[in-house]
């Protein structure tokens, strides 16, 4: 079999492998930064919560029979970074209202872009 379907299948497999590497590197870098930046107990807790959220999301999509495209999977390192960021903000004592405003889709800062 040759042609476009074979080419697209091959590219998809290669891209998925690269995305797994990207996700692993993102987790490793975030863990390193958390270990260096914070000196208190449970400093990797935000990363653990974010990884659990990504794993639950993958599991739920698979459980309902959904399929992910390569572009959708590529967003997960970004979501992982945001999850860690919000977790660090919660642990650092940032007021909850400020975090909610920053996380909302219509934050005041988004109108400046």
Interatomic CA distance for residues 91 and 89, integer angstroms: 5
* CA separation, residue 113 to residues 51, 58, 89, 106, 109 (Å): 30, 32, 23, 12, 8
97 domain residue, yes or no: yes
What is the rounded average pLDDT of the residues 84-110?
71
pLDDT in tens, 17-62: 777 787 888 889 989 988 988 887 888 888 998 899 888 988 898 8
pLDDT surpasses 60 at 1: no
Look up residue 48 and give its two tokens: 């653990």
Domain extent, residue 69, equals: 4-106
Q: Is the pLDDT of residue 70 over 60?
A: yes
The domain tally of the chain equals 1
In a domain, residue 29? The reply is: yes
Write down the pTM of the prediction.
0.65
List of residues 6+ apart from 84 with CB closer than 8 A:
30, 34, 46, 47, 50
Is residue 113 in a domain? Answer: no
Any domain includes 68: yes
């Amino acid at each position: 079999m040759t042609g476009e379907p074979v080419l697209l299948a091959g590219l998809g497999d290669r891209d998925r492998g690269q995305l797994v590497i990207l996700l692993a590197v993102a987790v490793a870098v975030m863990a390193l930064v958390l270990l260096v930046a914070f000196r208190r107990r449970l400093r990797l807790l935000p990363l653990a919560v974010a990884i659990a959220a990504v794993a639950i999301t993958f599991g739920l999509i698979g459980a309902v029979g959904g399929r992910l495209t390569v572009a959708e999977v590529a967003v997960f390192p970004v979501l992982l970074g945001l999850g860690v960021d919000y977790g660090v903000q919660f642990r650092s004592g940032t007021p909850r209202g400020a975090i909610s405003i920053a996380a909302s889709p219509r934050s005041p800062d988004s109108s400046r872009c």
